[in-house]
Each structure stands twice: as structure tokens, then as C-alpha cells.
Structure 1
């Protein structure tokens, strides 16, 4: 049988079945999809690949899913560090965005972000930002899978005049690119403190009509909750419940400050949560109660947030931090183990985006979104458990190869389809503009 690509890996962690490590197996790929996972000895006799990639010192895993980004904000990395969220946003980030955000800003910042994510093994990102058409353009240039947020706010920006304008512009982008194989869309009302009831009601209607998820910030800070009680008489999750937004299509980002009944409510409605541990810590928002959320069956994925609040787009780092924080805050060393952390970084993120039948695990029939991590570095030795090594020792510098839908985007550690020198020059150009 002839097909496109055979990847022979020393180890494969397919994520599904859970807690599985395959040794000396191959993944057969044709027309961008996984045809089979089989022992290497069998693959050499059964198939006639056009190309064979041998990964003798590697662990092959599903491509990582970054479930929450503002990709274009890579151009604001380090602009106003060491500030709490409210001051950071209102006094620095929002004024900078008001002055500089444009389609070119979004394209260039997203290009920089996509390059960083691919080099760190991220094959899919879920974005929320202005000028989504520019996000689409950058993602397509680098060949990464993107779920593009159709942002909505109740105040004007350079992108749109009001909530209706935001939604109309976003839907126009979705209509233009809805058949693109590597693109998906989310409705992205920014947060309960920037979006009114009328806009939320419209978002819910559009979500049901278009069958696309809703992606928003939720219970990130105590101030957000206190303000909601003052303005609406209830906490944000209860407000969303009364508006009918809680459901399997809701992706709540951060979820740092939750009471027991709120965790139960999110779980009962099949909502997903995005855990952004680095951003939460850096902005002093708090530590999300991941262990009790996990016990209640909540689907939890991992996100980096923006490079302005992290300051890395590095899901391998988020895996390690998520696991350690869950252990430390719960007093249970088994709270989030290595395999669970990897599942949060892959299949759980895919599930939140309703893409779990397409990506998130290495299974026959799924898209070949894959990441290879080279582990023969002496700094990683010895290796007794490959999943533990990925969760606690390896970093994005060990990512060697990345494929999206079977097409190579990173090879032997080098980014394809884009010059790193050009990206550096682009970043320097924007730095000079913004700093001035």
C-alpha cells in the first residue's frame, strides 16, 4: 500500500487510550490523515511510503492545543510588566491598543505568535482579538490550525463601532473562510464586565444558529466578581446561567475564583474551562482550583493567554506549572499527573473546541497534527517514564518536528515557511513604533 508519510518513533504517547506509551511504533499518514498506528516491524512490510521520517530518540505526541490566546499581542510582550490586571489593562494595554491596533498590527503580531507556537509544538490555537481576517491571513501563511474568535464588546475600538458592528464584521469573516480546512470559529464576547445582557443574548442566538462555541474570560479576578455583584446583583456565572449561556459550547477562560456550587454548575452544563496558570500568576489573579474542578468532571484545557501577560506562548511550560500548582494547592501529589497534564494540553482542548473527532490524539482517521520531542539531551537523562519527562523536564527547545494535517511546519528544530530574520526585523519595527 502506497501512502505519503511513515513516521517511525522510539516512543508514541497517543493520549487515547489514556495512560498509554507505545514503544517502537510507526504512524502511517496519507492525504493529511492518520491511516494506522502499528509496530515498526509491521509497517516496513505493509506500507510503501513516499517519505519516511525516523525519530530514534524522540517521543511523538499529538500537536498541542493552546486553548486561549490573543496572538497579535505578541507585539506588546513585556510592555507593562509587574502590574495587576485592572491597572495593566486600563492604564497600559488598552491605551497602546487604541493607538496602534490595525489589520497590519494584527497580522504581524499573529505571524510572530504562530512562529513561536509552532516551534513549541502547538498545532492549534484558539484566538480572541480584533481584525480576525488578519489573524486568518497570518495563520494560513504558516500553516497552523486556528480557531478564530469573533470578538464582541460594548464599546467602540478601531475595529468596530458597537456590539452589532463587531458581530456583523466577525460573521462576514466566518462566511468568507468557513470552508478553509484548518480554520474554525468561536464567538468571543470579551468578558462579563465588557459585554451587556443584550449582546450576550445575541451571541447565544448566533452560537445556536451557527453551531459554534462561545469563548470568554470568566471569574478571572475578585474585582470582576465584586463589580458584577454591585451592577447585576449576582456573580458572573450566575448571570450567564440566567441568560442561558451555560452549556457544552461555553469555554470559560481562567475560572480562578469559583465556589463549590459554581464548579458543579459548570460541570452539570458540560462547560469547558481554560487554565492559564502563568498568566494568572503573573497578573496576581490567583490560582485556579484545578483539582476540585477535575473531581467534578469539568473538561479543562490549557492556554497561555497573550505574550503580553505570560510572556511565553509555551504549552509545555503550562503543562508543568498546571500540574505543580494543582499538587501544591490541593496537598495531593497525584492531583494532576503527567498523563493528565498532557491530555489537558491536547485532547481536552480539542474537545472544548468540538474538534476532538479531528485532533487531540493519535488515532486512525484523525488529522495528522503531531509533535516530536527529542529527548536524548543529557539534561533530560535518565528517562524512566516518557510522560513524566514531557510534563516535568522537557521544554519547547526539545521540539524537533511539527506536522499540521500531515504537512511539516517545523523540521529538525527549524521553522518552515517563514524566515526568523524577517520575524525579528518585524518585531523590531513594531517595538520602535510602540516605544516612541
Structure 2
């Protein structure tokens, strides 16, 4: 090859192992990922990269596995400021007696900005490059994520009752339509619609939410079948399970994401599979609040796309998606009685390509393929507690802790370098967090 055929590029990442997610279950060794601008220019063996590319920067990650950035598809980012506030309580007691009163007293645009930045710092530090948020003042979280350069689905809240962000459904929908219009073509922000749950949103606002989703293309995310209590109360009130009601109202479709889904019978499973609705599994929050077990293995067997989320730090109590994957895989085996259920590769898919599919971005993110966005992470497997390495995928799910993440890029921009955040002023952020702690304690 002559010198004039060598291609110049921005960054070369030499990885000991690479898990591209496409093709499925591939684990490659001694690969190079070439980044140019916001995109992946090439993924190829290192000896071929030596002949074909010259880059301004080269990173030799000799003990690392490189994979797509993780996608945390459900959370309430600003609630990181409520981490540990009301533990060891059932869901409705936790909500009614502690979380909702605290939100009424403390939540403001300033609270949401600082809480969102705290959450983003934790997520970036542990390998998440895309997150979904459903909370008040979504315009504030959207701007914070955009400023940091983190990819985010921002779901505006929709409830029947008044909150700090609006007086009722009409105002929520009006503000939400404005949010969608403002951010619809942004490089980082995916505006979305977030009706809270069937028991907090009546038929008319849900119908309006579906119409808004259809007219704008904005995804819709809703908590659904989170607890047996929710399903039982719906049956008493209407004689209908919430999934059936959502199907009637048009909520279930390929642009919708149903979160939790711990209570599923055969009819529910049929509705979800037929409608091509996505399911977002939050195993640690479900366990901590004793909400139940999402039958992930059964859903996958029916071809349902299952992604994963941490939920908020107030009910988890962390946003480390690697820990979530370990829990998801372990619980699936116990629930199904099948030790092969939700393999390590399937768990990794839940946090990468499956999340991308749920967002409608599978052609942009979720795998390391030439032409896709340069959203990727590196995890250092060189520490003694991760040795020896026989199967990097197994290590990432069953042995890894998110703090082994050493590097990350979003749109080709470094967000984490040798474990240090590049776009968030951590000392200043900690001062703000301590301010909120003092206020909430008093």
C-alpha cells in the first residue's frame, strides 16, 4: 500500500478485547476502533489499521475491553439528591408518605439542574453514555445534558394532578409539545412523552399523549404493571387489567416503552408481543421496593425487545448499569428456573443495542459499527479482582463493577479519561450537593 492511500483520522483506540454487539455474541481480540468526528470510521484488526490509518491520537488499552456506551433507559435523574432518603419501605408508602412530600417541598429548577448533574456524573463514571429521564422541569435536564454532551431521552411528565411543573394535564401537554418542538432536531436530546402510570393518568390525557406521539414521532414511556397492588386496584375499579386498557387507548405500540412490567399474565404477554412495545426492566428497584419480578426470559422468548434501566437513585440506590446487568441476569435465572436464561451477551444487549432499538436509534448507536455514532466505553480488566480473564463478556456482567470503566466517548468527544470526568466540575458539584443535603436534613 502506498503512502497516498493511507487515511487520516482523529483517534485510534487499540483494544485488547472488543465486544461490538453486532454481530451478536462476538468477542474480538487486538482490534482498533478509528474515530473521525462524531462517527466510527472503521473497526478492524490492529495490524490492518497500521497499514490503513494515521491518527492524531492513539490510545493503547492493553488490558481493556471496548464496547458500545451503555444505555440506561429509565430513571429520574434529579432524584439522586434523594438517594437514601426513605429506604426499606413498600412502594406506595415510599411515594405517598416520603417522596411526594419531599418533592413538593424541595423540587425546583435549581434542584433539578444540580440533581441531574450529579446523576450524569455517576452515570458517565460507570459507563452510561445515553440515559432516559422522566421528571419535573424536563427542559432543565435537557439543557444540562446538552451542555455536558450526554445523549438523553427527556420525557416530560404527565399526570392528572397538579405538581411543581404544572397545574394539570392541559398545561403538561402544552409545555411538553413545546419541549418536543425545541429539541426535536438536537444532536443529543430525544424529547419524549412520560405519562406517569395508569393509576395517575386518566383516559383523556393518555389519548392526547398518544396523539402527540403519533403527530411528532416522540417516544412515549410509562410505568406499567409495576406492582400487584396496581393491577388489583385496576381490576376492582374497572374490571380490566392496565395492559388491556393501555392497548385500547393505543398506548401500546412500537414507539412506546413500558417500564417495570413485573405482573404479566399470558394475555398481557400477548398484547405486548403483538404490539411490538418495548419493555424496560429495572430489577434492582423492583427488588428493593418488593414490587415483583419481570419475566424477562419469557418476554425474550416471545421476541419482545427488553432494555434495562436503573430507575432513580432514590429507589435503587445507584445508577451503575453494570450492577443492574448482573442483577438482571441473576434474577432471570432464578425466576425462570433456567441457569441459561439471560446470558451475559443477552444482558449486555439489553444495555446497548436493545436500548437503542427502544429509542428508535439502532442505526445510530448501540453497537460498534462503521458509520454509527462514536459512543463507546473502555473497561479495564487488569485489576487482580478481575483476573484471570477467560470470557470478557462474562466478566462485564458477573464480575465487573462500573468503576472499572476508564474511558468513554459520546459523539467522539472524550467524557472520561483514565477515570476522570472531562466535562463536569466535580468539586463545584459536590458543594451544591452538600447544600441540598443540609436543606433536606433541616
TM-score band w.r.t. shorter chain: over 0.9
Query: Is 1:103 the equivalent of 2:106?
Result: no
Aligned to 1:346: 352
Instruction: Provide Cα deviations, 1:228-272, integer angstroms capped at 9, x if missing partner.
Output: 112222010000111122111110000001002211210111011
Q: Residues 315-326 of structure 1 correspond to what in structure 2 (within 5 A)?
A: 315-326=321-332
**Cα offset, 1:291, TM superposition:** 1.2
**Cα offset, 1:131, TM superposition:** 0.6
Secondary structure, aligned partner of 1:284: coil
Instruction: Provide Cα deviations, 1:374-428, integer angstroms capped at 9, x if missing partner.
Output: 0011111111111001110011110000100110000000111222222221111
Q: Residues 132-147 of structure 1 correspond to what in structure 2 (within 5 A)?
A: 132-147=138-153
**Cα offset, 1:133, TM superposition:** 1.1
Instruction: Provide Cα deviations, 1:50-104, integer angstroms capped at 9, x if missing partner.
Output: 1111111100010000000100100100010000000000000000001111111
**Cα offset, 1:285, TM superposition:** 0.4
Aligned to 2:297: 291
Aligned to 2:159: 153
- What is the TM-score of this pair, normalised by structure 2? 0.97
Q: Residues 60-71 of structure 1 correspond to what in structure 2 (within 5 A)?
A: 60-71=66-77
- What is the TM-score of this pair, normalised by structure 1? 0.99
Secondary structure, aligned partner of 1:25: strand
What is the CA–CA distance in structure 2 between the aligned matches of 1:144 and 1:49, rounded to whole Å?
25
Instruction: Provide Cα deviations, 1:181-226, integer angstroms capped at 9, x if missing partner.
Output: 0110111101001000000110010010001211000000011111
Query: Is 1:418 the equivalent of 2:409?
Result: no
Query: Is 1:22 the equivalent of 2:25?
Result: no
**Cα offset, 1:141, TM superposition:** 2.8
Aligned to 2:373: 367
**Regions of 4+ moved over 6 Å:** none
Secondary structure, aligned partner of 2:354: helix
Pick aligned residue for 1:208 from 214, 217, 240: 214
Secondary structure, aligned partner of 1:308: helix
Query: Is 1:230 the equivalent of 2:267?
Result: no
What is the CA–CA distance in structure 1 between the aligned matches of 2:410 and 2:178, rounded to whole Å?
26
Pick aligned residue for 1:260 from 261, 266, 274: 266
Query: Is 1:78 the equivalent of 2:84?
Result: yes
What is the CA–CA distance in structure 1 between the aligned matches of 2:307 and 2:434, rounded to whole Å?
33
Secondary structure, aligned partner of 2:429: helix
Secondary structure, aligned partner of 1:68: coil
Aligned to 1:177: 183
Pick aligned residue for 1:188 from 166, 182, 194: 194
Aligned to 1:51: 57
What is the CA–CA distance in structure 1 between the aligned matches of 2:433 and 2:165, rounded to whole Å?
22
The count of residues paired between Structure 1 and Structure 2 equals 436
Query: Is 1:114 the equivalent of 2:132?
Result: no
Instruction: Provide Cα deviations, 1:349-396, integer angstroms capped at 9, x if missing partner.
Output: 110111111100001110010010000111111111110011100111
Secondary structure, aligned partner of 1:208: helix
Contact 2:180 2:218 in 1 (8 A): no
Aligned to 1:198: 204
Gaps of 5+ in 2: 1-6
Instruction: Provide Cα deviations, 1:114-161, integer angstroms capped at 9, x if missing partner.
Output: 000000000000110011111012212321101100211111011101
Contact 1:115 1:142 in 2 (8 A): no
Aligned to 1:5: 11
Contact 1:108 1:138 in 2 (8 A): no
Secondary structure, aligned partner of 1:364: coil
Contact 2:405 2:419 in 1 (8 A): yes
What is the CA–CA distance in structure 2 between the aligned matches of 1:314 and 1:122, rounded to whole Å?
8
What is the CA–CA distance in structure 2 between the aligned matches of 1:50 and 1:175, rounded to whole Å?
38
**Cα offset, 1:294, TM superposition:** 1.2
Contact 1:13 1:61 in 2 (8 A): yes
What is the CA–CA distance in structure 2 between the aligned matches of 1:90 and 1:115, rounded to whole Å?
29
What is the CA–CA distance in structure 1 between the aligned matches of 2:158 and 2:36, rounded to whole Å?
39
What is the CA–CA distance in structure 1 between the aligned matches of 2:384 and 2:298, rounded to whole Å?
37
Q: Residues 272-287 of structure 1 correspond to what in structure 2 (within 5 A)?
A: 272-287=278-293
Contact 2:244 2:271 in 1 (8 A): no
Aligned to 2:223: 217
Query: Is 1:310 the equivalent of 2:316?
Result: yes
What is the CA–CA distance in structure 2 between the aligned matches of 1:177 and 1:252, rounded to whole Å?
23
